[in-house]
Chain A
Amino acid sequence: MASHNESIIREPLITGNDITYAKITNDVLKPVENMPTKAWWIGFAVASLAACLWVFAVSWTFWYGIGSWGLNKTVGWAWDITGFVWWVGIGHAGTLISAILLLFRQNWRNSINRSAEAMTIFAVICAATYIVAHMGRPWMAVYSLPFPNQYGSLWVNFNSPLIWDVFAISTYFSVSLVFWYTGLLPDMASIRDRATGIRRRIYSVLSFGWTGSVKTWQRFETVSLILAGISTPLVLSVHTIVSMDFATSLEPGWHTTIFPPYFVAGAIFSGFAMVQTLLLILRKVLGLENYITMFHIESMNKIILVTGSIVGVAYLTEFFIAYYSGGEYEQYTFLNRFVGPYWWAGCMMYGCNVLMTQMMWFKKVRTNIPISWVLSIVVNIGMWFERFVIIVVSLHRDFIPSSWAMFYPTWVDMSVFIGSIGVFFTLFLLFIRVAPSIAMAEVKLLLKSSSEQAKKKLMEEGHVDPSHAEFYKESLTKFDSVELSQYEKA
């Protein structure tokens, strides 16, 4: 898109020497075109074992009934909906990165959007499995669709937020899938062009006959923009609707108007954290440090900081409203998060999400890869606890004290959750084996304008104000993929 040179004072989006279009293709396609590495096999073995655990635990649930979970008459949802909301939340970053950042012309998204979108799709798959698995009679799940029937005119209950959920999640999933796959087309064609034999035939089908003509590219760009336009409201609507599962109910702790923005911010927060978790490993293992640079890491950390702070403000608002409303049940519920039997869950939620992420104010923290990685995991632990607190801790002590109860998870609860993580990683690991984990075509756009070597060339050619050059060089010190010695000579 951008063929002009980018301002020198912007940090490079691609680093490394001798980066050519061909090298990008070679680098990105290394895992796709070669036998898997040992690391991949280890990862895949662990992930698919966990996925098997998921299959086992979910089959167990289907065979014996939801009773094999730890739920009871008071706490009707626990790890299931916690897991569901957690996965949906994680699934938010992908579309945000691919749609909203595209519309805002944030070019740095080009290196991370592919993986983020894939992650979105897999996360939404995990979430969707929870929707079905948590039903008492999953074989009747079709009743939640408004299909024509012979029971008089029996529709679904359009008043129910769960029905909105069904629509929201399925729309989100299908649009995300289309968007992701559309973006994959030119890259699939690249693989096709380099492949032989059966692989060539498969990728030929998968690339939908991509020719690479100007017309094709033009249409590709247009479709991307249109899909971005369609996806953008979805980013906001999906978690808004998920939040309405709670907000439209009567439960103290759920019945809160702040939920839609709070949930959307929380979703982006956790989504970026998950992208961070994955990409920090991915860039190392697949040797993609030149394409996913410190700039990306820091940018994502900034987003985590901002959304984390929004979530923090939402938490404070909730407490204030609980106090200000004078509603005794509301007040009790919020007090109960700290003084009740689940005080530790409340501490995990507020500690991980608000206190820990505030460390991101420090540039040293934002640009430190191990700390970033740990924090990204802390965020997702915190976000899991946020949903747990909202769901279980609100439910377990609501209006009528005689029904107050504790929730204790069973091995099935835990296995389904751990298993869903396994499913997610299995899918993700398979994905990086069959499709480029970085959008090659889009990254190539940045090579001539935003890469380190382009900027270095500008500097060498003397087109740059020395003070700017100095500034630029300084900004490079934090990059782990830049050989600073080269600049000393310059």
Chain B
Amino acid sequence: MDSNKKYWKGLEELNNDPEFVEKNKHEFAEPIPIEDVLSSGGLSTKTPRRDFLKALGFGVGAVTLAACQKVPVHKSIPYLIKPEEVTPGVPNYYVSSYEGHAILVKTREGRPIKVEGNPNDLLSKGGLNAQAQASVLDLYDYNRLKNPIRNGNDTTWEELDGFVKNELAAVKAGGKKIRIVSSTIHSPSTLAVIADFIGAYPNTKHVTYDAVSYTGIIQANQNSFGKAVVPHYNFDKADVIVSFGADFLGTWISPVEFQNQYVQSRNNKSLQNKKMSRHIQFESGMSNTGSNADTRILIKPSEQGIALVNLYNEITGTTLPGTKALGNTNAAKAIKLVAAELKAAKGKALVVCGSNDVATQVLVNAINSQLGSYGATIDLDNYSNQYKGNDAEFVEFVAEMTRGEVDAVFFLHTNPAYDYYNADAFKAALKKVRLTVSFSERNDETASLCTVVAPNHYYLESWGDGNAIEGYYTVIQPTINPVYDTRQAEHTLLLWSDNAVKDYYTFVRNTWDKELQAKGGLASGLKGWEAVLQTGFVKAAAKPAGTYAFSRDLNGVAQTILNQSGRTAAGDGKFELELYQNVAIRDGKRANNPWLQEMPEPVSKVTWDNFVAMSPTDMKKLGYVQGDIVTVEAHGYSVALPILLQPGQTQGTISIAVGYGRTQGGPVADGVGKNAFPFQTFLNGTFQGTATASLTKTGDIVVLAQTQTHHSIEGRSVIRDTTFKEYQKDPSSSSGEERKHKPYEDLWDAYERPAYDWVMAIDLNACTGCGACVVACNAENNIPVVGRDEVRRRREMHWIRIDRYYSFVEEGKEITEEQEISELKDLDNVQVVYQPMLCQHCDHAPCETVCPVLATVHSSEGINHMAYNRCVGTRYCANNCPFKVRRFNWFNYWNDARFDNYLINEHTHLVLNPDVVTRFRGVMEKCSMCIQRIQAGKLQAKIEKRPLKDGDVKMACQQTCPTNAIIFGNKNDPNSEVSKALKSERTYYVLEELNVQPGIGYQVKVRNTNTELEA
């Protein structure tokens, strides 16, 4: 039944009067009177056409102007199909290895952004050096080769393969020699690839050539014990370490591993047990290792051999024929005392020598044998594969080329045109070779001379493996698709030798499947392989380290050594020149890395240059000042380099770092410093880095870009050190415990730290000053590189720096004040101390009170924050910071063509850590205590529904530190590592008298000095 009901909403509707009906029509809105406007007033104003044209003209003009600026296109392409293992914002870590060290590669959205040590790495226990930290940047280096090259023109791989294989067939038919020249390769798979290649082309020989060579040690061991290897040294097992010019903490063989071993008998734990090793360094230039030595004895390179002969005589009580007394009375006295100490520490002593001379190393072997080091501190059975270069073989190879006997040569990871001492001979000889192939990643000095450049993958794009120490196998796995059109060298070699296995990945798998997985006790096949990809390495059971007795006749050896000394000894105003590697640049292979170029060299604090290090006394004598450019000439080669005033440099000697003066290393490397490799000589079958040089002043002067220009501590308690003797008497000696005052009364209530109170402990006795933390921080926190000129203006941006102070010892007293130092007569007795300095996150932070806009504030977790967005850049905070750790963005370093060190191209910014913003010009920045890591750690714990554990969060600097000198953690947790470390009697706070209440506690430096040696 239809309803007749009528619903109404109001009386108006019920009545339905005309007014309501009218209103109801326009219930919702007044219509826009477009019609009215268009039809009447709107267009009929005066000259609407002109107005229209004006507007049009302006509009077109404005749009044209705006369009003149090319708007950069930033493509942000989301994953079409999300890879299972990639979650945007969450990093993935992959195991890999770097120079035989197991590492972890952190990737974000498929791109590697950070390399970290694998905490289980047997060599360095999770530490990495600056070079490894910086290696991630080279992946994105815009100057890497982007495709294969033939005769200087870009080509394709197919075309190249065809060409090379034809050539190889022709060479094979011709019967002339084929050579593969490489730096040391310890990868079992690569070696197998080369072996297979040799199988296919039997005229091939693999020549191993290291720019900085250890042939002397290898041949000495062959000579002494019949084992042609670099032994594995155990510095942790040595109570007395005597080094003759071996920079084992900085550059010698395996420095990261040695650093870790070295501090085992010097760190807090060892000191608590009242145990500390003694380290005596005999050297001419101030090395990173020498600067850490308890006692450092200055000798000339020419005195090294004599000193060793004398040491041998002292230890054995015999006299080798032709023995000369050391002219250097200080050293002569030291040798006697050192010999006594070494003898007393028999079985726990270690003598190492940095020389690459076979005879010298034979004598060192004899000494170590006398001291019972073999089987204890030196392991010849689980030997090192890190260096296998054979200098004589390379020299012979150059001779072969010169004679026209070589028809094909392949260069892998090597660059002799730059680092061979006689590069001109090499270059001339190379022209006679029919087929020259380089696998270089960049068009370097050697590659540019080759007919074919088949660019290799970078290690982060590669499969591979490593075997740094016998029995320790690490895996390399790619963490990104190849950035450019490159191909792995091993793969290329497989193709060119028509190997049955066509790709290198399968080849590596086979190597591991056949042999290595079993060695590590893993199943064969995919299961074992997957386990390897989880752990990163396998370790075969270590062979027992055998004892080796030295039984060769030393008479001839002694004669050779003494003859050589006579040859190097410089007379009539000449200087003994010693070449060395500096910690940042090493042999120059990574010279195009701006992080490394800007990393201050640990001792000199010089960036972006090499120099002639000279003793202050010599400089005074010759009237030189720092920065004077001198021409150094030795056996026909000369370079002009600035002088560096180097306290602790032996008088009559100069030191020059190799690895600089690249000509085709890339825009960063080229023209930085001068090449010192040609000063090397080939003598008695090895390359030797000493020469007699004459100096002439050019009259030019430059300012070296040093990050520290004042070198004495001025008697301030910023640095506190003590001797081991004092420490044993009173562990709190010099930490200022005795001056501990009652806490100051505070006018305000302290803020609560309910959950965390983040603090740090830095052990000055563990820090070797290597600078790995500086580069790790660069990588983690997107710290800009500012370049040489800006460093000269004292504007480097490093959030963590390592302060290095020299003090002089006179009559047993430490002299630290500039004024007094200038009056000292004897400037040879130098002590060095390193102090990592970063934002102290003061609880009473002076920076916070002065910031006008609250851009820097304290957190409830004890951290001093920077709000970049709020900062207006008054720099008041930096002025008021007593530690001077704040860094101001003077320019737009990220995006200013004048600072084009690496970032202004389409690739390199991919290395940036997306968790950390880059800072615009005009804002202040400083150490954030890796706040992004703290946050990530807290989030991870939250996801896993557990409290944050001690050790979950590690700072970038702490993570990479090879000696665990830096400990970070929660002070609220009394059981945290950092709380324990801060309880050490050695703990003191820098400038604690200001009551800024720093959050970083330092532990006093302890020197195990021998007072007899000091006097």
A residues whose Cβ falls under 8 Å from a Cβ of B:
64-67, 70-74, 76-77, 134-138, 140-141, 143-144, 154-157, 159-163, 166, 245, 248-251, 328-329, 332, 395, 397-406
A402 in complex: contacting residue of B805, B870, B996, CB < 8 Å: B805
Q: How far is the CA of A166 from the CA of B852 in the complex (A)?
A: 9
In the assembled complex, the Cα of A134 lies from the Cα of B851 at a distance in Å of 14
Q: Interface residue count for B (Cβ, 8 Å)?
A: 57
Distance A138 CA – B923 CA, assembled complex (angstroms): 11
The 8 Å CB contact of A162, one of B850, B870, B990, is B850
Q: Are A401 and B805 in contact (CB under 8 A)?
A: yes
Known A-B contacts A159-B849, A249-B846; the reply to A400 vs B921 at CB < 8 A is no
B988 is an interface residue with CB less than 8 A from chain A: no
B687-716 near A? 1/0 per residue, CB < 8 Å: 000000000000000000000111111111
Q: How far is the CB of B474 from chain A (nearest CB, A)?
A: 38
CB distance from B807 to the nearest CB of A (A): 11
Determine if B890 and A401 form an interchain contact, defined as CB atoms under 8 angstroms apart.
Answer: no
Contacts of B890 in A (CB 8 A): 65-67, 71
| Interface hits, B974-1010 → A, CB 8 Å | 990-991, 994, 996
| B518 → A minimal CB distance (Å) | 53
Is the CB–CB distance between B852 and A156 below 8 Å? Answer: yes
Q: Once the chains are docked, how many angstroms separate the CA of A365 from the CA of B801?
A: 56
Chain B stretch 672-698: residues in CB contact (< 8 A) with chain A: none
Contact present for A160 and B851 (CB under 8 Å): yes
B642 at the interface (CB under 8 A from A): no
B48 to chain A minimum Cβ distance, whole angstroms, is 37
Distance (whole angstroms) from the CB of B699 to the closest CB of chain A: 22
**Whole-angstrom distance from the CB of A144 to the nearest CB of chain B?**
5
B837 beta carbon closer than 8 Å to chain A: yes
Which B residues lie within 8 Å of A159 (CB)?
Answer: 849-850
List 3 tightest A-B contacts by C-beta distance, closest first: A136-B873, A136-B922, A67-B890
Residues in B with CB closer than 8 Å to A401 are 710-714, 716, 718, 805
Query: Is B892 an interface position by the 8 A CB rule?
Result: yes
Is the CB–CB distance between B851 and A251 below 8 Å?
A: no
Q: Is B522 an interface residue (CB 8 A)?
A: no
The answer to whether A398 and B884 touch (CB under 8 A), given A76-B878, A160-B849, is: yes
Alpha-carbon separation in the docked complex, A340 to B8 (Å): 97
B323 CB–A CB distance under 8 Å = no
Known: A65-B892, A400-B884. A135 touches B922 (CB 8 A): yes
Contact B850 A249 (CB under 8 A): yes
Check if A250 sits within 8 Å of B793, measured CB to CB.
no
Report how far A134 CA is from B715 CA in the complex, Å: 35
Instruction: Out of B854, B871, B884, name the residue touching A154 (CB < 8 Å).
Output: B854
Is B880 positioned at the interface, with any CB of A under 8 Å from its CB? Answer: yes
Give the residues in chain A near B878, CB-CB below 8 Å: 73, 76
B864 to chain A minimum Cβ distance, whole angstroms, is 14
**B851 and A73 contact, CB distance less than 8 A:** no
* CB contact between A157 and one of B718, B837, B854 (< 8 Å): that residue: B854
Contacts of A397 in B (CB 8 A): 710
User: Interface 1/0s, chain B 724-758, versus A by CB < 8 A?
Assistant: 00000000000000000000000000000000000
How far apart are B744's CB and chain A's nearest CB, in angstroms? 15
B945 to chain A, nearest CB (A): 30
B771 to chain A minimum Cβ distance, whole angstroms, is 14
Q: Hey, which chain B residues are within 8 Å of A134, CB to CB?
A: 874-875
How far is B876's CA from A248's CA once the two chains are assembled, in angstroms?
12
B924 in contact with A136 (CB, 8 Å): yes
From residue A364, how far is it (CB to closest CB) to chain B in Å? Answer: 44
B887 at the binding interface (Cβ < 8 Å): yes
Are the CB atoms of B871 and A136 closer together than 8 Å?
A: yes
CB within 8 Å of A: which B553-594 residues = none
CB distance from B903 to the nearest CB of A (A): 17
**Additional A-B contact list (15), CB under 8 Å, known A73-B794, A77-B879, A136-B888:** A64-B891, A65-B889, A66-B873, A67-B890, A71-B875, A72-B793, A134-B874, A135-B874, A136-B872, A137-B923, A163-B852, A399-B883, A399-B994, A402-B803, A402-B835
Query: What's the Cα separation between A112 and B654 when bound, in Å?
Result: 69
CB of B375 closer than 8 Å to a CB of A: no
Return A407 CB to nearest CB of chain B, in Å.
Answer: 9
Residues of A within 8 A of B875 (CB): 71, 76-77, 134, 136
Given A72-B794, A73-B794, A77-B875: A65 touches B921 (CB 8 Å cut-off): yes
Residues of the B chain whose Cβ atoms lie less than 8 Å from the Cβ of A138: 872
Give the docked Cα–Cα distance between A162 and B710 (Å). 31
Give the distance in Å from the alpha carbon of A400 to the alpha carbon of B880 in the complex. 12
With the chains together, A77 CA to B875 CA distance in Å?
7
Q: Is the CB of B854 within 8 A of A249?
A: no
- Which single residue of chain A is at the shortest CB-CB distance from B802? A402
CA distance A72 to B886 in the complex (A): 11
Is the Cβ of B852 less than 8 Å from the Cβ of A144?
yes
CB-defined A-B contacts under 8 Å, sample of 23: A65-B889, A72-B794, A72-B795, A73-B886, A134-B875, A136-B923, A136-B924, A143-B872, A156-B853, A157-B849, A157-B851, A157-B854, A159-B849, A160-B849, A162-B850, A245-B876, A250-B882, A250-B994, A250-B996, A328-B716, A398-B882, A400-B837, A400-B990
* Cα(A27)–Cα(B874), bound, Å: 47
Give the nearest-CB partner of B921 in chain A. Answer: A65
Whether A250 pairs with B837 at a CB distance below 8 angstroms is no
Bound-state Cα–Cα, A155 to B852, Å: 10
Report the separation of the CA atoms of residues A138 and B921 in the bound assembly, to the nearest whole angstrom.
11
Most chain B CB within 10 A, of A66, A137, A144, A328, is at A137
A66 CB to nearest chain B CB (Å): 6
Q: Tell me the complex Cα distance, A303–B870, Å.
A: 44
Please, which residues of chain B bring their CB within 8 A of the CB of A66?
Answer: 873, 888, 890, 921-922
Closest to A137 in B: B922
Most B CB atoms within 10 A — which of A74, A162, A332, A400? Answer: A400
> Which residues on A sit within 8 Å (CB–CB) of B804?
402
Return chain A residues, CB-CB under 8 Å to B873.
66, 135-137
Q: How far is the CA of A157 from the CA of B857 in the complex (A)?
A: 10
Q: Which residues of A lie under 8 Å from residue B883 when comparing CB positions?
A: 399-400, 403
Q: How many Å lie between the Cα of A135 and that of B853 in the bound state? A: 12
> In the complex, what distance in Å separates the CA atom of A343 from the CA atom of B837?
29
Asked if residues A160 and B805 are in contact (CB atoms below 8 Å), the reply is no
Closest residue of chain B to A410 (Cβ to Cβ) is B793
Q: Report the separation of the CA atoms of residues A161 and B874 in the bound assembly, to the nearest whole angstrom.
A: 12
Decide yes or no whether B628 CB sits under 8 A from chain A. Answer: no
Q: How far is the CA of A163 from the CA of B713 in the complex (A)?
A: 36
Which of A155, A160, A395, A400 contacts B803, CB < 8 Å?
Answer: A400
Closest B residue to A159 by beta carbon equals B849
Chain A residue, CB-CB nearest to B717? A328
Q: Which residues on A sit within 8 Å (CB–CB) of B633?
A: none
Tell me if B879 and A249 are in contact (CB < 8 A).
yes
CA–CA, A134 and B790, complex, Å: 19
Distance in Å from the Cβ of A387 to the closest Cβ of chain B?
A: 14
Query: Assuming the A-B contacts A136-B872, A136-B922, A162-B874, are A73 and B853 also in contact, with contact meaning beta carbons closer than 8 angstroms in the complex?
Result: no
Whether the Cβ atoms of B879 and A251 lie closer than 8 Å is: yes
Of A71, A140, A162, the contact of B876 (CB 8 Å cutoff): A162
The yes or no answer to B121 lying at the interface (CB within 8 A) is: no
- Docked Cα-Cα span, A400 to B835, in Å, equals 11
Please measure, in the bound complex, the distance between the C-alpha atom of A73 and the C-alpha atom of B886, giving whole angstroms. 7
Establish whether residues B850 and A403, one from each chain, have CB atoms under 8 Å apart when the complex forms. Answer: no
Query: What residues of chain A lie closer than 8 Å to B876, measured between beta carbons?
Result: 76-77, 160, 162, 245, 249
User: In the bound complex, do residue A160 and residue B794 qualify as a contact, i.e. CB atoms below 8 Å apart?
Assistant: no
Q: Which of B794, B835, B924 contacts A74 (CB 8 A)?
A: B794
Among A134, A136, A138, A166, which residue has the most Cβ atoms of chain B within 10 A? A136
Confirm or deny: B247 has a beta carbon within 8 angstroms of a beta carbon on chain A: no
Task: List the B residue with the shortest CB-CB distance to A72.
Answer: B794
Shortest B281–chain A CB gap in Å is 23
B796 at the interface (CB under 8 A from A): yes
The answer to whether B852 touches A160, judged by C-beta atoms less than 8 angstroms apart, is yes
Q: Are B888 and A73 in contact (CB under 8 A)?
A: yes
Expressed in whole angstroms, the Cα–Cα distance for A150 and B237 within the complex equals: 63
Closest chain B residue, CB of each to CB of A402: B803
User: Nearest Cβ distance between residue B911 and chain A, in whole angstroms?
Assistant: 24
| Partner among B718, B793, B854, B889 whose Cβ is within 8 Å of the Cβ of A399 | B718
